[in-house]
Chain A
């Protein structure tokens, strides 16, 4: 089987409220903490949906749209930068598993 990129993998996920241009974020990340106080930036490695990325100058960026609600970042961040909630069924993003 050929190797899949993370983008190809996330293409196999059914997301809710895909049509909505403005979904309500369920995770808020204070990236100022990531970029000034955090030494390990663990979320950029452990997130299985690559929602946390590092740019060319090593700054952390976050987007919630690809989140698959696993919860990993809530544990991996020990700097209190991640405020984690479940997505709102009506207005949020999040997943619907076809197999699970």
Chain B
């Protein structure tokens, strides 16, 4: 069992102490870094944008060695990712965590690249089309978390690269690019 779906797990995933929050500082520091890398790798390859601390997240338990991360450990590892700006807590209770394997700025750059590559410099699109339209198929934007996409678009709007407007349907917004 060194795979989780099509994700290849490292060997140390079967090392029981990996699942116990280590009390000694140096060891703990290394453990946190290892978890941080593994979570980000996994989320990126599996397009996971949201981790619920209390929900079943495949990485947080290993049935092969019968070990599960404690609540404290999960929060510690996710907080470490938040501390590096690679994730954000969505609530004060630290129950839901938004994972940003690309930072918002990086996502904004990806959108601009996408616009240029598809000749959409002066076009109008809906937000939903960016996530699931034919142009975005097979790109990193396919299936992007809506919260993250909106924040990247707002960042571009502030820079004058586009304008957001309310569309005809109540649940969608339009984007007018002006790159």
A, B bound: no
Binding site for B on A (CB under 8 A): none
Binding site for A on B (CB under 8 A): none
